[in-house]
Amino acid sequence: MNMKKWFLTLPTILFLITILMYSTSFSLESLTPTQMKNTVARAGVDIAISNAATETHTDHFTLLNPDQDKTLYHLKFNNFHSITTVSTGLDHISLDVGEYNNEVMFFAESPALSISTDFTVDSIIFCNENIGRLGVEDMNLSSFHLYAGPHADNGIDFEFGEQLSIKSFTYQYNSSTTSGFLALTGITFANTFLPTGANGEFLIGNLSESNPAKIDILSDDTAEWIPGVVNPRLGTAFISLDLPMQGSIHIDNVTMGGNNFGNLAIDNINIEKLYIEIPGRGLGK
């Protein structure tokens, strides 16, 4: 009996000795979001999609200002039509949950994604005025990643990266088909541009530099934002967006009013802070 008991516990003793001898190999190391995602990939989900097509047609949808006359102060999009095709390629869409900087985060990534969309809006109505027609042809999202998690203020910290191209964007602002429009062709968002083309992803938020993008729903506690006038929105809620950005934007051709302005390149964009409130509280007045 004693011999049998010794035989059963010997492998365990050898295992513990090995762990003690090589314990330095298990020291904690700081990981990037990508490394953390790869570490927990086996606990996540991969989704494969091949040539899934959807078509959407909406008669209209409207954005209203609840504090003003809804029959006048509104933005309406009439006859919205879109066709979208989705494929994930061999790398699929990977979904994981892990920890980064002591915070639980959601990781989504698809390095070989293809989401191709065409859409049109027949008319845009702003304050009862028809301000034109909108069309987008072949908007293609070719890769993306999203890392998102909560922060202490009951909001969301996130990093979103994308490589996006748009064949053409057209805004027809009057009835003239030869001069009454703005057209942008060959639009690309990426991290950088090499002689071979777009490289990497345009970033909104950057977790590795401790500068995430943020979304919060806050209550307006500004008692007085116009001298001598108490804020009429005191206590109401608003959406707060903080959207730092990094990357480059190239446009092959810009045409407006029948005039060709050529190409446009904006490289090495670094916006450390871009703050937006919805609805705006007029803090700049």
Structure tokens at 56: 């959407």
Alpha helices in the chain (DSSP H): 2-21, 33-39
Separation between Cα atoms, residue 63 and residue 121, nearest integer Å? 15
Contact call for residues 215 and 155 (beta carbons, < 8 A): yes
Of 248, 54, 269, the closest CA to residue 163 belongs to: 248
Contact call for residues 217 and 240 (beta carbons, < 8 A): yes
Tens of pLDDT along 223-234?
Answer: 565 566 656 666
Beta bridge partners of 213: 158
pTM: 0.74
End-to-end CA distance of the chain: 88
Tens of pLDDT along 63-111?
Answer: 877 777 777 778 889 999 999 999 988 788 888 888 877 778 889 888 8
Beta strands 245-256 and 197-199, pairing class? unpaired
238 Cβ contact list (under 8 Å, min separation 6): 217, 218, 220, 277, 278, 279, 281
Q: Taking CA 250 as the corner, what is the angle to CA 126 and CA 56, rounded to the nearest 5 degrees?
A: 45
Q: What are the domain boundaries of the chain?
A: 52-278
Tens of pLDDT along 109-155?
Answer: 888 888 999 999 999 998 888 989 999 999 999 998 999 988 876 78
